[in-house]
Copies of this chain bind each other. A is one copy, B any other.
Amino acid sequence: MSNRAILADNDIPRQWYNLAADLPHAPLPPLGPDGQPVKPEQLAAVFPMNLIEQEMSQERHITIPDEVLEIMLRYRPTPLHRARALEAALKTPARIYFKNESVSPAGSHKVNTAIAQAYYNKQAGIERITSETGAGQWGSSIAFACSQFGLECKVYMVKVSFEQKPFRKMMMKTWGVDCISSPSMETQAGRDILAVDPDCGGSLGIAISEAVEAAVTDPTGKTRYTLGSVLNHVLLHQTIIGLEAQKQLAAMGERKIDKVIACVGGGSNFAGIAFPFVKEKINGADIDIIAVEPASCPTLTRAPYVYDHGDVARMTPLMAMHSLGHTFMPPGIHAGGLRYHGMAPLVSQTVVEGLTRAVAIQQLECFEAAVLFARTEGIIPAPESSHAIAQVIREAKQAREEGKERVILFNLSGHGLMDLSGYSDFLDGKLSDHSLSDEEMAKGLVCLEGLPKPAGR
C-alpha cells in the first residue's frame, strides 16, 4: 500500500502552463501613470525583457529551459502524499492528497520561480539582483537561486523581521547573499523614511521601494529587480506543481478530483497547484477550487476588485486585482507570507469569473489544523500552509457528515521549521484571532478613492 506517488525524473513536466491563454475573458492589462496599458519597454529598467515577454505572453505552454530543469531535478518532481493518518484521525471517507513543496532547498515552493527568474536574468546579461522579503521565505529562495547562477544578490528585509527572525537572514548569508535591514541608508527611499522616523520598523512596501530603486538606479545597467509572487510570470513558474500533481494522481488511480485547496497571499502558491485544474474546469470538469486566506487579511473575500498599485509608494503599475488598498496594514499574524494587501491579477480574475472561490479562516483554527497534521502526517507545516489544511479538515468533516467519498488535493507550500515560535505561542495559548472590522477595512480602502473604477467584465 503506497502512500506516496513519486514521478521519475523523466516524467517531470517540460512546459509551464499559462492560464492567460484559456481564461474566458482576456486579462485586463496593467496600466501606467498615464492610465494606458503599460508597454514592455516601460518595464525594461525593472525586469529583463525575456521575463517581460513571459509576463505578457498569451502562449498556452512555455518550455522550461534545460538549465532550470536541471536544478529543479535536485528536488523535483516533489512527492505527492496520501494523508492516510490524517484521514484516519478525521474518520473521513474522503481521500486526502497533498503535494509536498517543503522538500526544496529553501523549504518552500518559492524556489521554483526563483530558479527560473535567476536563469532568465543571467541569460539577459544581468549580473546583480535586488529583491525584498518579509518573513524571509522569498528572500532565502532567491538567495539560493542566485548562488546557483553566480549572480550577486541583495535582499532588503523588513526591519522588524530582520531583527525578530535572524535564521532566514543566516540562510541567505550561507548562500552568499547580502541581506540588509529595510529601511536602509543605501537608497533615497530608505533615507527619506529614516529622516522622518529613525526608528521605523519597515514594511514590505518600503522594502519593495528600496529594492526597485536599487535596481533602476544602478549606473551599470546590469541590475534588475525580482518579485516572489503576484506577477503572471511568477505564477506561470509555479504551475509545475499542479502539472506534476495531475500526473501523480493519475498514477495513484484517481480520475476524478473533487477539491483543490491552497493558501493565498500574493497568489503564486495557489496558482501553482490550481491553474492546471482551472484549465480542466474551463474544459468542463466539476472541481471545487478553493483559495484560503487569513481572516485578518481578507483580500479575496472582502476587498473590491479594482485597479490598484502593488506597493505603498506606488512605484508599480496599476493592476486589476482584489485589493485592500496599497496603504493597508494587516494585523500581525504568524503567517507572514499571507499579509499582502493585493492579489495576483490572474488569481483575482479566476474568482471574478467563478472558476475558483475563496474562504477566510482565523489563525487559531489554522494552527490547530497544523498541529493535527504534524501529529498525524509528521510534517510541521508553514503557518501559511496551515490555512489550506484547515480548509481540508472542514471539507473532510463535511464528507464524513454526508457519508460521501471525496478526493481532496492540497498544496503543502512549505515547512514550518523557521516558524516554530508561532507553534510554541499557539500551544502556550498566547495567540488570538482577529477579524477586521469595517472601520479597519476602510482605512486601507480609502486610498482607492480617485483610482479607476473596479474593472468590469
Min CB distance A299 to B, Å, is 28
A171 close to chain B: CB less than 8 A: yes
Q: Is the CB of A81 within 8 A of B74?
A: yes
A38 cross-chain contacts in B, Cβ below 8 A: none
A122 close to chain B: CB less than 8 A: no
In the assembled complex, the Cα of A176 lies from the Cα of B368 at a distance in Å of 12
A71 cross-chain contacts in B, Cβ below 8 A: 378
Question: Can you list, as one digit per residue, whether each of A1-16 has a CB less than 8 Å from chain B (1) or not (0)?
Answer: 1111010111000000
Q: Is the CB of A423 within 8 A of B174?
A: yes
Min CB distance A73 to B, Å, is 6
A200 close to chain B: CB less than 8 A: no
Binds B, one of A276-284, A354-362, A414-422: A414-422
Binds B, one of A369-377, A434-442, A447-455: A369-377
Q: Is the CB of B379 within 8 A of A107?
A: no
In the assembled complex, the Cα of A174 lies from the Cα of B147 at a distance in Å of 33
Cβ contact of A371, chosen from B9, B10, B174, B420, cutoff 8 A: B174
Top 7 nearest A-B pairs by Cβ distance? A170-B420, A105-B378, A2-B9, A170-B424, A147-B375, A174-B423, A167-B420
A420 cross-chain contacts in B, Cβ below 8 A: 166-167, 170-171, 174
Min CB distance A154 to B, Å, is 16
A314 close to chain B: CB less than 8 A: no
Min CB distance A145 to B, Å, is 9
CB contacts under 8 Å to B, within A130-154, are 144, 147-148
A352 cross-chain contacts in B, Cβ below 8 A: none
Q: Is the CB of A105 within 8 A of B371?
A: no
A173 close to chain B: CB less than 8 A: yes
A44 cross-chain contacts in B, Cβ below 8 A: none
A379 cross-chain contacts in B, Cβ below 8 A: 105
A175 close to chain B: CB less than 8 A: yes
A26 close to chain B: CB less than 8 A: no
Question: Can you list, as one digit per residue, whether each of A86-116 has a CB less than 8 Å from chain B (1) or not (0)?
Answer: 0000000000000000010101000000000
Q: Is the CB of B3 within 8 A of A375?
A: no
Q: Is the CB of B10 within 8 A of A9?
A: no
Cβ contact of A380, chosen from B6, B148, B171, cutoff 8 A: B171
Min CB distance A40 to B, Å, is 32
Cβ contact of A2, chosen from B10, B85, B371, B421, cutoff 8 A: B10
In the assembled complex, the Cα of A159 lies from the Cα of B147 at a distance in Å of 37
In the assembled complex, the Cα of A70 lies from the Cα of B2 at a distance in Å of 8
A2 cross-chain contacts in B, Cβ below 8 A: 9-10, 73
In the assembled complex, the Cα of A102 lies from the Cα of B70 at a distance in Å of 20
Cβ contact of A176, chosen from B9, B170, B375, cutoff 8 A: B375
A446 close to chain B: CB less than 8 A: no
A-B contact pairs, 11 of them (CB 8 A): A1-B70, A4-B9, A144-B378, A147-B375, A147-B378, A148-B378, A166-B420, A170-B420, A170-B423, A171-B417, A173-B424
Q: Is the CB of B417 within 8 A of A374?
A: no
